[in-house]
């Protein structure tokens, strides 16, 4: 499995814990910031798919 698929599967379980999409996204980004770094966000979010995961700020 790719990092993106593994991360999506793992963090989807977190979404059920947080109960909303914003919590899931925050957990993904926090994990990348702490452990993977910005360069790995594309691997987790799938490049262009990252734009679809972002919420309007």
Cα–Cα distance measured from residue 54 to residue 38, given in angstroms and rounded to the nearest whole number: 15
Query: pLDDT (tens digit, 9 = 90+) per residue, 1-55?
Result: 444 556 666 666 666 676 677 777 777 778 778 877 666 666 666 655 555 555 4
Cα–Cα distance measured from residue 1 to residue 34, given in angstroms and rounded to the nearest whole number: 22
Query: pLDDT (tens digit, 9 = 90+) per residue, 34-43?
Result: 877 666 666 6
pTM: 0.45
Task: Please name the residues in contact with 22: beta carbons below 8 A apart, sequence gap of 6 or more.
Answer: 55
Q: Which pLDDT value is given to residue 1?
A: 40
Q: Which pLDDT value is given to residue 55?
A: 47
């Amino acid at each position: 499995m790719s990092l993106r698929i593994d991360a999506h599967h793992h963090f989807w379980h977190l979404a059920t814990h947080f109960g909303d999409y914003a919590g899931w996204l925050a957990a993904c980004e926090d994990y990348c910031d702490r452990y993977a770094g910005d360069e790995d966000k594309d691997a987790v979010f799938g490049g262009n798919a990252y734009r679809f995961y972002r919420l309007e700020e």
